[in-house]
Structure 1
Amino acid sequence: MLKTFVAGGDLAGSVTVKEYKGHYFPPSVQDLPLQWKQLQSFDAADNDVIICSYPKSGFHWIWEVVTMLLNNTSVISKELPAKYVLEAGTIKKLQQSPQPRVLGSHMYYEELPVSIRQKKCKIINVIRDPRAVAVSSFHFFTKLKESKWKGTWAGYLNLFLDGKVLFNGWFQHTQLWERVRQNNPDNPIHVLSYEDAKKNPFYEFKRLSQFLQLDVKDSMIMTIAENTNFSQIKTSKKAIAEHRLGSVFVGNTYPLYRKGTEDDWKSHFTLQQNAEFEQIYKDRMHNNKVQLKSIVNPNSNDTGCVETTRYESKL
């Protein structure tokens, strides 16, 4: 069923989505019931790795890193990570892909194929500052023809905070995944902060290697960190992406690799918008164990995530 959300008040902007089982998909997605059924039939292998994140949180980047680590190589893949997103409707092709497979999903844990949960496949849960996510998704969906987004940044931010955008809300997604980690301690789920990985890629990629139980030398991890910096990936993927996906975006240009920085949101948020956003974050996330350092301690140069019991404990 198609739905159109309009930004409230005098804010300009609206977005049209296709709703199925409470999820908001691009309007052009065909036969969602069939795709959902095929998704659940996916037979995961024990060595499959699944990267789970809210959209625009760094999936494509981390997919490259994990693929390199699994194959013990520093060469960037010629594949497009989007091909391996479970809900993208290519289940039959994914089933036939050579192992080990690095898969991705923007869905909740309970909606992943049953086989992934039964076999306790390793899951990497990527978290990024929602302000950066909001800005990145605004630019992406503005250029995505099928999203039908028309409006201003302020209008988009209004809908983003309400979860009335493609793939629903960041807050709900992040809270549900934390609940999964708490309720399923035996499942191998690794939390990766986008900001931490940008700040110290070698350390975070080494932690990834250890989580995946791989024997990758430090020298290889260092080279992987160097070869997966934003400019390198953008250069390597541009021709492939433009050829395969360019036509679905305004100007026939693939906008995925835009800036890749962790603080570009500062050039979009006004001081008032940021103050209001931080207060909303505190109100909605105060019970979460994983907190964002950039909001918990905004005057610090530190970034990433911090483990705590309540937000107030960091004041």
Structure 2
Amino acid sequence: MLKTFVANGELPGSITVKEYDGRYFPASIPDIASQWKLMQSFEADSNDVIICSYPKSGFHWIWEVVTMLFNNTSNISKELPAKYILEFGAVSKVQQSPPPRVLGSHLYYEELPVSIRQKKCRLINVIRDPRAVAVSSFHFFTKIKEAKLKGTWSGYLNLFLDGKVMFNDWFHHAQLWESVRQSNSDNPIHVLYYEDAKKNPFYEFKRLARFLQLDVKESTIMAIAEKTKFSEMKAPKEAAIGHNFGNAFAGNKYPLYRKGQEDDWKSYFTLQQNAEFEQIYKERMQYNKVQLKSIVNPGNNDTGCVEDTRYGSKL
């Protein structure tokens, strides 16, 4: 069922999603009920790896890294990572592929195919600063034709904070995954922080290889870190992708890459918006073990937000 959400108060903003069982999906996905049923029938292999993240948290990037680690190469894949997202119809495409398969999902743990949970497949939980997620998703969803995203950045931020966007609330997603990590000690789950991987990719990719029990030379990991830099990966990857998935997007082109920066959010958040966001984060995440240092204890040089208040405020 299509549902359109409107930002609160006088903030201009609205977005259209497709609701199924309380979850919000891109409006362009056809027959979600059938796809959901097909996804649940997926027969996982114990060697499969699933990258689990909220949208716009770095799935495509980490998929490339994990694929390279498995193949013991620094060559960029010609595949489109989105093809391997379970809820987007990946099941029919990869069921016959030989394991280990590198898959992805933006769903909650309990929503993953039963076989993935039963076989205790390795899961990689990617977490990114929600301010960066909000800005990245604002630009991405603007390009989805059927999302009909209208209004300003401030209107979208209001919708994001209320969880009235595709794949629902970021905070709820983070809290549920932390609960899973605490209550499923027998299911191997690796937490990867997007910002940490940006700052020190060699170290984080080495940790990934260790978690995946892969014997990859440090020289290869170093090459992977270099080849998966945004500036290195953007052109060849876009050339390989071409116009796949383009029909659903403005300009008939899949908008996979924009900037790939960890602090681009500072160009959009006003100082007031950032202060409000930090307060909301501290209130909603106060009982979580996972605490993003850039929010709960920012350094003196960490707040580089735009000075003016042309976008207004949520509160």
Q: Fold conserved (TM > 0.5)?
A: yes
Q: Which residue of 1 aligns with 2:186?
A: 186
1:145 corresponds to 2:145? yes
8 Å contact from structure 2 (residues 19, 25) kept in 1: yes
Tell me how far 1:93 sits from its aligned partner. Answer: 1.6
CA distance in 1, matches of 2:301, 2:167: 31
Distance 1:263 1:89, change over 3 A: same
Deviations 1:225-272 (A, max 9, x none): 000001121111112333213332212333221000000000000000
Deviations 1:183-222 (A, max 9, x none): 1011100000000000000000000000000100101000
* 2:120 alignment partner AA: K
Q: Which residue of 2 aligns with 1:34?
A: 34
- What SS class does the counterpart of residue 244 from structure 1 fall into? coil
Structure 2: any 5+ residue segments left out of the alignment? Answer: 303-315
Q: How does 1:187-206 map to 2 (within 5 A)?
A: 187-206=187-206
Tell me how far 1:300 sits from its aligned partner. Answer: 5.5
CA distance in 2, matches of 1:147, 1:157: 15
1:158 corresponds to 2:177? no
Q: Which residue of 2 aligns with 1:313?
A: none
Q: How does 1:262-277 map to 2 (within 5 A)?
A: 262-277=262-277
Percent of matched pairs sharing the same residue: 77
Q: How does 1:87-166 map to 2 (within 5 A)?
A: 87-166=87-166
- What SS class does the counterpart of residue 274 from structure 1 fall into? helix
1:86 corresponds to 2:86? yes
8 Å contact from structure 1 (residues 13, 150) kept in 2: yes
* 2:272 alignment partner AA: Q
8 Å contact from structure 2 (residues 52, 123) kept in 1: yes
CA distance in 2, matches of 1:301, 1:187: 38
Q: Which residue of 1 aligns with 2:261?
A: 261
Deviations 1:279-301 (A, max 9, x none): 00000000000110101211156
TM-score after normalising by structure 1: 0.94
CA distance in 2, matches of 1:93, 1:82: 11
Q: Which residue of 1 aligns with 2:17?
A: 17
Tell me how far 1:99 sits from its aligned partner. Answer: 2.0
1:61 corresponds to 2:68? no
8 Å contact from structure 1 (residues 13, 152) kept in 2: yes
Structure 1: any 5+ residue segments left out of the alignment? Answer: 303-315
CA distance in 2, matches of 1:153, 1:242: 29
Q: Which residue of 1 aligns with 2:306?
A: none
Runs ≥4 in structure 1, deviation > 4 angstroms? none
Tell me how far 1:22 sits from its aligned partner. Answer: 1.1
Count of aligned residue pairs for this structure pair: 303
Q: Which residue of 1 aligns with 2:223?
A: 223
TM-score after normalising by structure 2: 0.94
Deviations 1:120-175 (A, max 9, x none): 00000000000000000000001111211111100000000000001111100000
Distance 1:281 1:214, change over 3 A: same
Q: Which residue of 2 aligns with 1:250?
A: 250
CA distance in 2, matches of 1:10, 1:47: 51
CA distance in 2, matches of 1:300, 1:83: 41
